[in-house]
Amino acid sequence: QRGAEQRVHGRLEQRRQQAAEVDDDAAGRAVGCGCWNDGDTRARAMSGGGARSAEAEHDARVAAAQKAAATGTVDKEAKYDRQLRLWGTTGQARLEAAHFCVLHATGTATETLKNLVLPGCGRFTLVDAARVAPADLSANFFVEPASLGKSRAAECTRLLCELNPDVRGDAVERDPHDVIANDAAFFDAFTHVVAVDVREAAVATLAARLFERDVPLFVVRTAGLVAALRVCVRRHYVEDVKADHPADDLRVSEPWPELAAAARAVPLDTLDSDEYSHVPWIYLCVRAADAWRAAHGGALPATRDEKDAFKASVAAFAKDPKHNNTIEAKEKAHVAYAPYALPADVRRVLE
């Protein structure tokens, strides 16, 4: 009997996994493959890394994909959720405004483009004069048997664009070396250029032109499992570092006049519990700092014991310690006694 029950449970589990794979396939197609594709989902399911949070995330993605398929619309914020957490809306906007030029439609080139198309680069142009040969079928995922004899640039572009309908792809059936030698102005329309397996003399010519125009050039060479990458760029500034724990720049220890006046105008003693719950936490910190200065000769907390006592004084204003503003004021009380200074990255720019 126990063996029969195990077989039944086994069949149920197998059917559940098969249903999950079908849902993954449908969801992957509906979201246009974004940064989450069928292969990634199946790999995670097969690896058994199935925490409940991962299952819940998967269910949410499937539901969003099914809704998008039903309405014919795709929410970009949901589609690109993972990468937005990494580089933010500013980085995504720059990616969507970029126009990449890739020279030679080799397996390395198309894999590079795949990793640009999935997160939603704005546009790419693939330059290659070759025709699809039998050898390409075993070295390039973005050609198929029906592609034999056809333009390699056109076939790779067609299949790459299927990954993400938000991306525009163009195929140029020309020899990259000929374009570099005889039509260098061709590259002026691009924001980035990727040269794959281009001869060194042609790379030098291309790099000199792009360097003058401050266009990044990525030079890639591959031989089996060995590869080399060179980046040719005049300068590269990082403007938005997206710190993991960005510090609040509120200058509570030295509040500007308007902030100090607004905080001191709130009659905390006469507010009822509901009214108090709507007082911004920064006001509580400013008032606590005022009270501390008055009792300590104008000085702010300096030692560990003084800082702990200051946090306790912040809670003393509370009508109810469970109010969110009281909790947040206690958690961020350090901004009231930390001396203000320009962040190091800002100071480097100014200097």
Percent of the chain with pLDDT strictly greater than 90: 40
Task: Answer whether residue 244 shows pLDDT above 70.
Answer: no
Q: Which two tokens stand for residue 278?
A: 């709507």
- What count of Cα atoms within 13 Å lies in the side-chain half-sphere of residue 262? 12
> Does the pLDDT at position 54 exceed 90?
no
What are the pLDDT digits (tens) for 14-46? 545 544 444 444 344 333 333 333 334 333 333
| Over residues 60-77, mean pLDDT | 59
DSSP H/E element including 266: none
Question: Tokens representing 156?
Answer: 């790779």
Asked whether residue 97 carries a pLDDT value surpassing 80, the answer given is: yes
Mean model confidence pLDDT for the chain: 80
Residue 297, CA distances (Å) to 176, 253, 284, 289 in order: 74, 15, 20, 12
218 SS3 class: strand
* 26 burial type by CB count under 10 A (0-12 exposed, 13-18 middle, 19+ buried): middle
From the CB of residue 238, how many other CB atoms can be counted at a distance below 10 Å?
7
Decide: residue 83, CB within 10 A, 0-12 exposed, 13-18 middle, 19+ buried: middle
Determine the average pLDDT of the residues in 239-248.
Answer: 61
Contacts 24+ apart (CB under 8 A), 94-98: 95/119, 95/120, 95/121, 95/122, 96/120, 96/121, 96/122, 96/166, 97/122, 97/191, 98/122, 98/123, 98/191, 98/192
**In the predicted model, what is the mean pLDDT of residues 299-307?**
89
Compute the average pLDDT of residues 116-132.
Answer: 96
Which residue has better confidence, 86 or 54?
A: 86
| Cβ neighbours, 10 Å, residue 275 | 13
Residue 28 has what pLDDT?
Answer: 43
* pLDDT tens digit sequence for 203-226: 999 999 999 999 999 999 998 889
Average pLDDT over residues 319-344: 81
Q: Rounded CA gap, 251 and 285, in Å?
A: 11
Q: What pLDDT score does 45 carry?
A: 36
What is the predicted pLDDT for the residue at 89?
85
pTM value surpassing 0.85: no
Alpha-carbon distance of 6 to 310, in angstroms, equals 62
> What band does 105 get if pLDDT is binned at 50, 70 and 90?
very high
Instruction: Say how many C-beta atoms besides its own lie within 10 A of residue 280's C-beta.
Output: 14
CA gap 288, 308 in Å, rounded: 13
Return d(Cα 206, Cα 183) in angstroms, integer: 11
> How large is the average pLDDT for residues 71-79?
68
Q: Please say whether the beta carbons of 276 and 268 come within 8 A.
A: yes
Backbone angles phi, psi at 338, to 5 degrees: -80, 125
Residue 12 has pLDDT above 90, yes or no: no
Neighbours of 333 (CB within 10 A): 25
| Tens-place pLDDT, residues 335-345 | 888 877 777 77
Which of 76, 78, 77 shows the shortest CA–CA distance to 167?
A: 76
The pLDDT value given to residue 65:
52
> What is the structure's pLDDT at 61?
55
Pairwise CA distance, residues 8 & 75, whole Å: 40
Least confident of 60-74, 91-105, 136-150, 277-291: 60-74
The pLDDT > 70 percentage for the chain reads 75
Residue 313 has a pLDDT of 84
Two tokens, residue 108: 């390395």
- How many Å apart are CA 255 and CA 248, to the nearest integer? 13
H or E element in which residue 282 lies: helix 281-295
Is the pLDDT reported for residue 11 higher than 80?
no
CA-only gyration radius of the chain, Å = 29
